[in-house]
Each structure stands twice: as structure tokens, then as C-alpha cells.
Structure 1
Amino acid sequence: MRRIRAPKRREWRTMTDARTRTPRERYRTQVRAEIKEHAWEQIATAGASALSLNAIAKRMGMSGPALYRYFAGRDELITELVRDAYRSLADTFRAASGEGAGLAGLAHAMRAWALDDPQRYFLVFGTPVPGYRAPDDVTEIAAETMTAILDACAALPSDRPGTPFDTHLEGHRQWAAGHPAPPAVLHRALTVWTRLHGVLSLELAGHFAGMAFDPALLYAAELDDLLER
């Protein structure tokens, strides 16, 4: 059984200057941040599907109704966590791209992001939470990460012949969020996405433990193979 660690304590920043907010607004922001910290601890222990606002309220010495003034329900809290996670990854990709990173740079940035907080990774790329559906604004942030991969794949040279799956993607490209890439690039991006996440998921879940090889080298080898293709 893999050992689950609680994520590092983080600060949840706001774009609003603290000096322009009222004491009540600052207090509300602080309480919401504390609620999210307890939520991450619950997720690390029992998974997102077991998230309980009442249990969080008990940990914080609050009544259930009092906590519901900050989050209307479980799904709203999960949405905040998922939004924060995707925004963090999107910002990571944007920073890497801003420094001139290509596909390899994005791939290594993604692995570093995942290793920094496995529970955050599993929340967005692990087993879906039963009964939960992310709102459109979260889906749009998630699409930013795929757009970065599509852009990087489009920048690579390719002379391979088309495949039946390329033809299929001609009419099934909604997931690309309007990206103008041709089907061959869409296919490449999906291949990169699935293979690298496959290695990351197995590594973070502890399935390589005891196999006596370095997962970082396996990840790099998969990436090299993808780039050669």
C-alpha cells in the first residue's frame, strides 16, 4: 500500500489588495482558506469522494450550518480545489512557455508540478469524484493546459503518414477547444498526454516501488520516444 502524504500548507492568494477589503471580507477569505486546507487533509487521508463538510466543521470547532455560509456544499468546495489545481498547472505551463520551453520543457514542468503535490494531481487526473461535474469555467482553465501541449506539438516537425485515428479526429475535436491544429497534431498531443500521464499516475500511486529502476529515467525515455516519433 502506498503511503499518502498530506499536501504542503500553502497560501491562497487573492488579486484584491488586502488594504481595500473590510475586516469581514478578510476574515471570510481566511476561513475559506482554512476550510480548503482541511479539505486537502481529508483528501490525502480518504480521497475526494469521502470529503465531508460536517467533518471539517467539527475539526474547526464550527457548527455545520456555520461552515455552509462559506461553501454552499461539497461540490462547491471541490470546485474551488479543482479550480486552484488547474490554475496552478496552467500557470506552470505559462511560466515554462514564457521561458521558451518546448514540449520537453512542458513535460518536465508537469512532472515537477505533480511530484510537488500528488494529491492535487490525483484530484484532477485521478478517478473522477462520483456525482461531481466541474462547471464551465473550470473546464476552460483545464483547456489551457491542453492548448499549451497542442501548441508545443504543432511546433514539432512531422512527416508521418495519416492514420485512421487522424481521420476520426477530424470530426471529434471538441476536446481541443477550437485549436486549429490539424488531426495529426491532435493525435500527437493525445499520445503525449496519455503516455506521460500514464507514467506519472503509476509513479505517484507507488506502483514502481520495489522495481529497482528510476521513474524519472522512465519518464524521460518515454518523452524521448515521443519526440523521436
Structure 2
Amino acid sequence: MAEAQQGPRARYREQTRAEIKEAALRQLADGGVAALALTRIAKDMGLSGPALYRYFASRDDLLHALIRDAYDDAASAIGAAAARSVDAAQSPRERLRALAVAYRASAVGEPHRYLLIQGAPVPGYVALADTLDRARAVLGPFLPVFAGGTPGAVVAPVVAQMAAWLDGDPAVGGWVAEYAADAAGPAGAAGALAGALLAWAQLHGSVGLEAAGQFEGMGHTGDTLLDAQVGMLADTFGLE
């Protein structure tokens, strides 16, 4: 009997948690993290403060959930773009662009969620240990794109540092192997890692500025800038 009652209770709990997260995302969209207030969420939902705390123990607990969801959704979107590009037998250069487009779309489509996962959302916030794995899942599909490339001399120092990182951190090697098990080319896994790192740095720089509204009135569009960045990265790594 207890088991039969647990199913509906668990479903109700998850539904309520989802509704709380939706209310929190509306607050983030309206006013950023500073606008996030559990008491206001409780009032909007017709809950008492103590009732809401049965679902999320604190603001940081709610932030943990929102950040996990944001990473997971971004990883899903980029992973789906990677699968489509592989199915279409696209070239590495075309695949890189497909991933970059998916990365940008995920960010500018919901900028409040993208900005939430870039840096500490509030002073003193400490991310959960699994946040790193979720961030790596977002970047993972970029690894096989660069795995067979030929990095140019300008990025040789980055490739060398990535090789040292791989030697010193087995977990990083496991991450690369998960996405690019057959890393080949002159630089192999280190080149793949360097490419993914530089893609992240390039994309986050431009996409983060766009998501924050910093490009307004500057006479260019984010997609044009994205194409230029993808082209430069592809040329630097010898992607055809």
C-alpha cells in the first residue's frame, strides 16, 4: 500500500519542483540572479515559505538545480547538433560550424540561463562537484571535430600544455577518450583538447557578450561574427 502511495507523491513532488524552477527562471529573465527570491516564488505559487523549503532547502539549492538543468539542456542541444552533422557526413569544418551555431542558439535563446552558468551566479556560491562533468558534456562534442586536425604553429604552445595536462590528469584523458576515442592526426588527443578549449574561449567570449546585450548598436550581428570565428578556428587547426 505504501509503495502504491509513493508513486503519486513522488510525481507531485517533481511537478511542484518543476513549477518552482519555472517561477525562478521567470524571475531570472526579468531581473537576473539579484531578482531571485524564494519568498516571492512561494507567494506567487500560493505556498508558505516553510512549504517551499520542503522542495528546495535554500536559494543555493535552487540555484544548483537551475544550473544543472542549464548545462544538461545545452549539452543535449549541442549533442543533437553533433549527431545530425555526423549523420549528414559533414566535413570537420561544417561540423564545427554546426556545433558553434547550436552553442550560440542555446545561449541567445535563453540568455538568463546562459549567464547563470558562466562564473559564480552570486557571491559565495560554491558549485557542486558534478558541475564540472556537466560542463564537459557541453564541450565534449567539439573534441572529435578537432581530433584529426593539424594545429598550426600559433597554437603549438596550447597543444603542448594540453599534452601535459593529459599526462597529469587521467580524468581529462578519460573525458577526451569518451568523445574522441580514435583521436588521430599530428597532435592527437592534445590537439583535440586544444581545439575544444579554444572553441570554448572564442564562443564564450562572443556569445557571452551577445547574451549580455553588449553588441547592441555596434553594427554587426552575432551570426556574422560567429562565422568569422569558426573560419579562423578551422583554418588554425587545418580543418577541411
1:73 matched to 2:58? The reply is yes
Alignment of 1:160 with 2:167, yes or no, is no
Matched, 1:188 2:180: no
Whose helix fraction is larger, Structure 1's or Structure 2's?
2
User: Which sits farther off after the overlay, 136-145 or 27-36?
Assistant: 136-145
CA distance in 2, matches of 1:20, 1:94: 37
Structure 1, gaps ≥5 residues long:
1-18
Inter-CA distance 194–159: structure 2 relative to 1 (3 Å threshold): closer
* Contact residue 165 and residue 172 of structure 2 kept, 8 A: no
The aligned residue for residue 112 of structure 1 is 105
SS in 2 for 1:193: helix
Residue equivalent to 2:221:
214
Higher relative contact order (CA 8 A, sep 6+): 2
Which secondary structure does the structure 2 equivalent of 1:135 belong to? coil
Give the conservation status (yes or no) of the 8 Å contact 1:44–1:119: yes
* In 1, Cα distance between equivalents of 2:118 and 2:57: 25
- Residue 70 of structure 2 contacts residue 117 of structure 2 at CA under 8 Å; is this kept in 1? yes
Could you tell me which residue of structure 2 aligns to residue 33 of structure 1? Answer: 18
Which of 168, 171, 174 is equivalent to 2:164? 171
1:50 offset after TM fit, Å? 4.8
Q: How far did 1:194 drift?
A: 0.6
More moved, 32-41 vs 175-184: 175-184
Take 1:121 and 1:79, find their aligned partners in 2: how far apart are those partners?
A: 14
Return 5+ residue gaps in structure 2 as ranges. Answer: 87-94, 178-187
State yes or no: 1:145 paired with 2:138: yes
The 1:159–1:22 alpha-carbon spacing in structure 2 relative to 1, beyond 3 Å, is closer
Q: Alignment identity in percent?
A: 41
Q: TM-score, normalised by structure 1?
A: 0.80
State how many pairs are aligned: 210
Q: Which runs of 4+ in 1 moved over 6 A?
A: none
Is 1:53 aligned to residue 38 of structure 2?
Answer: yes
Distance (whole Å) between structure 2 residues aligned to residue 176 and residue 199 of structure 1: 26
- The match for 1:85 is 70
* Aligned-pair CA distance for 1:122: 0.9
Task: Identify which of 206, 209, 231 aligns with 1:224.
Answer: 231
CA-atom RMSD in angstroms = 2.5
The answer for the alignment partner of 1:203 in structure 2 is 210
The answer on whether the counterparts of 1:143 and 1:177 sit within 8 Å (CA) in structure 2 is no
Letter in 2 for 1:71: F
What is the deviation of 1:83? 1.1
Q: What's the TM-score once normalised by structure 2's chain length? A: 0.77
